[in-house]
Amino acid sequence: MALAIEEIKKLILAGIPDATIEIKDLMGDNNHYAAIITSKMFKGLSKINQHKLVYKSIGPKMGNELHALTITTKEK
């Protein structure tokens, strides 16, 4: 089962409310995405911890409904 872009955005925004999110479907299969996420919450965090925030927002759907997500994070 695939996860739609709008559902991914909704999940990320639930955990990172000020996020600006751009998502592209890399393969056209609703299963392989690239996301650029910008947030003030990333300030002072390492890239690893920024990515952990994103993965925490997505929760158990990552690796299940959502197969692959390439993440780029930026500070606002």
Q: Which architecture does CATH list for 5-75?
A: 2-Layer Sandwich (3.30)
Q: What is the pLDDT of residue 1?
A: 66
Q: What is the pLDDT of residue 18?
A: 98
Query: Position of tokens 């409904």?
Result: 65
Q: What is the pLDDT of residue 29?
A: 86
Question: Which residues have CB under 8 Å from 64's CB, separation 6+?
Answer: 1
Walking along the chain (76 residues) 10 residues at a time, the average pLDDT comes out as 90 98 93 96 97 95 89 97
What is the pTM assigned to this prediction?
0.92
* The pairing of beta strand 68-75 with beta strand 32-39: parallel
Q: How far is residue 51's CA from residue 53's CA, in Å, rounded to a whole number? A: 5
- DSSP secondary-structure letter at 41? G
Domain ranges of the chain: 5-75
Q: What is the pLDDT of residue 24?
A: 97
